[in-house]
């Protein structure tokens, strides 16, 4: 069933996508955790990126738990993966932010410094997340 919760979860995935600066990438690697919803959202992200036609897209499903997938993101093995906003707030940011998209985006802007620069370039006027 689609609804606000699903949209918020997908929106959080978009936060991590933009956070990594993949907007102008020649190659985009999408990852996912090992559970059904993550597989599906990862496929949605990969298919949407393929349809945009601006990057060569690959999908690495079922990489592991949050720590494993976030480590893959930090190392540059993947460029994006879908994540719950609550997991971002409490596990990845260790509760240093609120749970609204605005608060998460502010905290992620600071956290972005821990992720590798993949040379994709990032538009300065982009939105970090969109509400669906």
pLDDT-above-90 percentage for the chain = 38
Distance from C-alpha of 59 to C-alpha of 72, rounded to nearest angstrom: 13
CATH number of the domain enclosing 70? 3.40.190.10
Quick one: which H or E segment has residue 5? helix 4-19
Distance from C-alpha of 132 to C-alpha of 124, rounded to nearest angstrom: 22
The larger pLDDT score, comparing residue 113 to residue 87, is at: 87
Domain that holds residue 85: 4-110
Tell me the pLDDT band of 1, cut-offs 50, 70 and 90. very low
Residue 9 is assigned to a structural domain of this protein: yes
Which tokens sit at 57?
A: 């897209």
Residue 123 is assigned to a structural domain of this protein: no
Residue range 51-62, pLDDT digits in tens = 999 899 999 999
Residue 121 is assigned to a structural domain of this protein: no
Residue 82 is assigned to a structural domain of this protein: yes
The three-state (H, E, C) secondary structure of 14-62, written as one string: HHHHHHCCCCCCCEEEEECCCCHHHHHHHHHHHHHHHHHCCCEEEEECC
Q: pLDDT at position 104, please?
A: 84
Residue range 31-41, pLDDT digits in tens = 999 999 999 99
Residue 120 is assigned to a structural domain of this protein: no
pTM over the 0.75 mark: no
Number of domains in the chain: 1
Residue 12 is assigned to a structural domain of this protein: yes
Residue 116 is assigned to a structural domain of this protein: no
């Amino acid at each position: 069933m689609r609804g606000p919760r699903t949209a918020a979860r997908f929106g959080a995935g978009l936060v991590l996508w933009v956070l990594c600066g993949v907007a102008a990438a020649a190659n985009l690697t999408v990852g996912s955790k090992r559970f059904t919803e993550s597989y599906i959202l990862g496929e949605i992200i990969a298919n949407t990126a393929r349809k945009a036609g601006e990057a060569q897209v690959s999908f690495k499903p079922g990489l592991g738990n949050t720590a494993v997938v976030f480590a893959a993101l930090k190392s540059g093995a993947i460029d994006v993966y879908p994540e719950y906003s609550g997991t971002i707030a409490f596990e990845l940011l260790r509760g240093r932010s609120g749970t609204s998209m605005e608060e998460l985006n502010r905290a992620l802007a600071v956290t972005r410094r821990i992720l590798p620069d993949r040379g994709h370039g990032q538009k300065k006027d982009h939105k970090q997340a969109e509400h669906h």
